[in-house]
C-alpha cells in the first residue's frame, strides 16, 4: 500500500520558489530545498522526481502568479500610456523595494536555464508570450478607440513593452536606482503614437 504524502506540496513549491528565485538553479542544493521546505530529501524526490522537477513546478507557479498580477494591472479603464506606465512602475517598485534584488524569476531563468533546458525554455516563452498578448490587447483597444494612430503596429509595440519590462528587471537587479529605471520607462513610452 502506498504511503500518503505527509506534507503540503503547494507549500513546498512556494518555499522552493523563494530559494530558486534568490539563488538560481545551479547554486541551489538539495540541502537548501530540504531546509527551506522542511521536507525530507526522499519525500521531495517522491513528490517531484528531482530537483529539476521541483524547479519546474516553482517556475510554473511564479509564471502563473506574475502573469495574473500583470494582467490585473493592465485591466484598467484609463489612457493607454497611463495603463502601461502603471504596469512598468509597479515592476520598477517591486524591483527596487526588494532588499535582495532578486529580479524576475522568468528573466533569471531565461539567462541561466533556457539555453540548455527545454522545459524552462517553454515556460519562459509562454510567460513572455502571455505578457505580450495582454499588452497587445490594451494597445489594440486603444487603437480601436482612436487613442492610437490607425496604422499603429500593436504587436511591435507590445514587444517593446515586454522588452522594457525585462530590461528594467535586469537593470534593477544589477542595482539601478528608481530614478534611472523610471527614466527608462518614460523614454520607452514616449514612442507610443498617441493622438493629441
pLDDT tens digits for 167-192? 999 999 999 999 999 999 999 999 99
Of the pLDDT bands very low, low, confident and very high (cuts 50, 70, 90), residue 4 is very low
Per-domain residue ranges for the chain? 9-189
| Contacts with 21 (C-beta within 8 Å, 6 or more apart), sequence order | 58, 62, 102, 105, 108
Tens of pLDDT, residue by residue over 13-65, are 999 999 999 999 999 999 999 999 999 999 999 999 999 999 999 999 999 99
| Contacts with 170 (C-beta within 8 Å, 6 or more apart), sequence order | 103, 107
Average pLDDT of span 129-151: 95
Q: Identify the residue whose cell numbers are 535582495.
A: 100
pLDDT surpasses 70 at 156: yes
Of the pLDDT bands very low, low, confident and very high (cuts 50, 70, 90), residue 1 is very low
Of the pLDDT bands very low, low, confident and very high (cuts 50, 70, 90), residue 107 is very high
Whole-number pLDDT of residue 7: 75
Whole-number pLDDT of residue 6: 66
In this structure, whether the domain defined by 9-189 belongs to CATH 1.10.357.10 is answered with yes
Helix 51-74, helix 80-96: angle, nearest 10? 140
- The pTM of the full predicted model, rounded to 2 decimals, is 0.90
Amino acid at each position: 500500500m502506498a504511503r500518503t504524502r505527509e506534507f503540503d506540496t503547494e507549500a513546498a513549491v512556494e518555499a522552493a520558489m523563494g530559494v530558486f528565485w534568490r539563488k538560481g538553479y545551479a547554486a541551489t542544493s538539495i540541502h537548501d530545498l530540504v531546509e527551506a521546505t522542511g521536507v525530507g530529501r526522499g519525500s521531495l524526490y517522491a513528490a517531484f522526481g528531482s530537483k529539476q522537477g521541483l524547479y519546474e513546478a516553482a517556475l510554473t507557479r511564479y509564471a502563473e502568479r506574475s502573469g495574473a498580477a500583470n494582467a490585473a494591472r493592465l485591466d484598467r479603464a484609463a489612457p493607454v500610456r497611463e495603463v502601461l506606465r502603471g504596469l512598468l512602475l509597479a515592476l520598477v517598485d517591486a524591483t527596487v523595494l526588494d532588499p535582495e534584488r532578486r529580479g524576475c524569476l522568468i528573466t533569471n531563468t531565461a539567462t541561466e536555464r533556457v539555453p540548455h533546458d527545454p522545459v524552462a525554455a517553454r515556460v519562459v516563452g509562454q510567460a513572455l508570450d502571455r505578457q505580450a498578448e495582454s499588452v497587445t490587447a490594451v494597445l489594440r483597444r486603444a487603437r480601436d478607440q482612436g487613442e492610437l494612430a490607425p496604422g499603429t503596429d500593436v504587436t511591435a509595440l507590445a514587444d517593446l513593452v515586454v522588452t522594457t519590462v525585462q530590461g528594467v528587471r535586469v537593470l534593477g537587479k544589477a542595482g539601478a536606482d528608481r530614478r534611472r529605471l523610471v527614466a527608462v520607462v518614460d523614454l520607452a513610452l514616449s514612442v507610443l503614437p498617441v493622438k493629441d
